[in-house]
């Protein structure tokens, strides 16, 4: 696989990954009707709890399509890591190793989120793995986003670098504020997650557009020659 095709594939994987998460979350949330699911109050993890009617931290949980969300959690971890590893060719040496390590740690974290539910009804060890996996996944993904804006060697525009650092920092801050109030926990948690999903979409689209323009220039040069 050439460097160019590797980067294009990585960009496409990032976009597909963000889309599959948002779609799966919307479908699963829509299936939750009693009581109605709240994007502001309910955690994202609530959508993956398999026991309908269980109570956790004052919330009644009932997610009929929990399997879909858990599959999406696992898919996100694998796809995000794959996309980042493919794009890691943009950097060299120690930085590349750090990028790959963060991507793989994120993957492990999200796989744990999908395998172990965020409910007190299961084994205590399972809940600990779920919470720990979510924390690792969120921190690693937002750190990667910040790195993408901090590495001048990538040759990215100033606007993109500012966007990446801002989104990553806001993601970490939002996640830190998740426990401030039970009435807004879901909103702040989403701030910590949607940050890297937004970054993935923007980064993927920009890289795909750049590749298409490069292909078009190559075709025009061949024609003119």
**What is each CA distance from 128 to 55, 116, 120, 121, 225, in whole angstroms?**
17, 9, 10, 12, 63
| Other beta carbons less than 10 A from residue 82's beta carbon | 17
pLDDT of residue 216: 61
**What is each CA distance from 29 to 14, 48, 61, 66, 180, in whole angstroms?**
23, 10, 11, 9, 23
Residue 22 lies in a domain: yes
Residue 223 lies in a domain: no
Residue 100 lies in a domain: yes
Tens-place pLDDT, residues 2-19? 778 888 999 999 999 999
pLDDT of residue 156: 81
Tens-place pLDDT, residues 188-225? 999 999 999 999 999 999 999 887 766 665 544 555 55
- The C-alpha torsion from 111 through 81 and 131 to 191, rounded to 10°, is -130
Q: Which domain holds residue 196?
A: 3-218
pLDDT of residue 220: 45
Residue 34 lies in a domain: yes
Tens-place pLDDT, residues 74-90? 999 999 999 999 999 88
Residue 112 lies in a domain: yes
Give the residues across from 59 on adjacent strands: 56
What percent of the chain has a predicted confidence (pLDDT) above 90?
A: 71
Tens-place pLDDT, residues 88-133? 988 888 999 999 999 999 999 999 999 998 877 766 788 899 999 9
Residue 33 lies in a domain: yes
Residue 191 lies in a domain: yes
Residue 225 lies in a domain: no
Tens-place pLDDT, residues 160-195? 999 999 999 999 999 999 989 989 999 999 999 999
Q: Token digits for 29?
A: 């949330």
Q: What is the mean pLDDT of residues 41-49?
A: 95
| Rounded distance between C-alpha atoms, residue 61 and residue 175, angstroms | 21
Using the predicted structure, report yes or no on whether residue 46 has a pLDDT greater than 90.
yes
pLDDT tier at 135, thresholds 50, 70, 90:
very high
> How many domains are contained in the chain?
1
Using the predicted structure, report yes or no on whether residue 155 has a pLDDT greater than 80.
no
**What is each CA distance from 99 to 87, 109, 145, 151, in whole angstroms?**
10, 15, 10, 11
CB distance 71 to 24 below 8 Å: yes
């Amino acid at each position: 696989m050439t460097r160019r095709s590797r980067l294009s594939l990585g960009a496409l994987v990032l976009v597909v990954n963000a889309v599959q998460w948002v779609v799966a979350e919307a479908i699963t949330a829509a299936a939750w009707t009693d009581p109605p699911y709240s994007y502001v109050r309910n955690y994202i993890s609530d959508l993956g709890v398999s026991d309908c009617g269980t109570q956790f931290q004052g919330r009644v949980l009932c997610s009929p399509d929990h399997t879909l969300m858990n599959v999406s959690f696992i898919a996100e971890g694998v796809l995000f890591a794959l996309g980042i590893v493919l794009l890691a060719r943009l950097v060299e040496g120690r930085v590349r190793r750090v990028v790959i390590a963060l991507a793989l740690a994120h993957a492990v974290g999200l796989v744990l989120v999908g395998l172990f539910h965020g409910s007190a009804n299961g084994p205590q060890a399972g809940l600990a793995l779920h919470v720990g996996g979510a924390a690792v996944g969120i921190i690693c993904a937002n750190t990667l986003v910040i790195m993408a804006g901090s590495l001048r060697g990538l040759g990215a525009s100033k606007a993109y670098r500012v966007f990446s650092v801002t989104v990553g920092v806001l993601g970490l801050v939002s996640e830190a504020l998740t426990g401030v109030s039970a009435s807004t926990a879901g909103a702040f948690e989403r701030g910590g997650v949607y940050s890297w999903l937004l970054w993935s979409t923007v980064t993927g689209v920009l890289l795909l557009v750049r590749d298409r323009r490069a292909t078009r220039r190559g075709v025009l040069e061949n024609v003119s020659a």
